[in-house]
Amino acid sequence: MKKLFLTVAIAGLGFMANAQPPAGDAKPGEWYGEKVITEGAVNINDVVAKINDGAEFPDAKIKAKIVEVCPNKGCWLKLELNNGETATVKMKDYGFFLPLAAKGKTVVIDGEVKMKTTSVAELRHYAEDAKKSKEEIEAITQPKKELKVMAKGIVVVE
């Protein structure tokens, strides 16, 4: 019984230690995931305009400012758009995360960009990760059409 308890306790501590964003300062030149070459990067707002006109970007390099990083693991980001909204970034295959210090930094992201509808359950999950209040989470009752990025790699540029 003691061995079982000890095993469960160690596994739980290991899980809690992994449930944090990576440490780091997110300085210019630091990259996460696959290495990204910044040449040819397009401002995210230019991509939004083209997507709204029907274009697709299965492989794009976008430049944007991070306005939010998942405080639990660094597993998603929110990018600033000109219209006051945000775009959501997830990491391909859940393969890498960003430190909280990336908030406010300008990055170039290599990945797939498309307009998608985010379910109420997923929106509520993001709100929980962002430590929103119970009332704010319960106020989410409609899915949201938004720009989504599936990042293969991210490099900090500013």
For position 103, which CATH number holds?
Answer: 2.40.50
Report the mean per-residue pLDDT for the chain: 88
Distance CA 124, CA 53 (A): 29
Buried b (16+ CB within 10 A) or exposed e, 48-84: beebeeeeebeebbbbbebebbbeebbbbbbbbbeee
Number of domains into which the chain is organized: 1
Asked if the structure places residue 53 within a domain, the reply is: yes
Does the pLDDT of residue 9 top 50, yes or no?
A: no
19-23, 27-31, 33-37: least confident range: 19-23
For 18-45, b where at least 16 C-beta lie within 10 A, e where not — what string? eeebeeeebeeebbbbeebeeeebbebb
The model's pTM: 0.82
pLDDT tens digits, one per residue of 52-74: 888 888 889 999 999 999 999 99
Q: Which domain holds residue 58?
A: 22-156
- 87 occurs within a structural domain: yes
Tell me whether residue 37 is in a domain.
Answer: yes
On whether residue 2 sits in a domain, the answer given is no
Q: Quick check: is 90 in a domain? A: yes
The pLDDT of residue 38: 96
Confidence category of residue 37, pLDDT binned at 50, 70, 90 = very high
Q: What is the pLDDT of residue 13?
A: 44
Residue 44 domain-assigned (yes or no): yes
Rounded mean pLDDT, 5-24: 57
Residue 15, pLDDT above cutoff 90 = no
pLDDT at 57: 86
Q: Is residue 139 one of the residues assigned to a domain?
A: yes
**Given pLDDT bands bounded at 50, 70 and 90, which one contains residue 19?**
low
Q: How confident is the model at residue 12 (pLDDT cuts 50, 70, 90)?
A: very low
Task: Indicate whether 9 belongs to any domain.
Answer: no
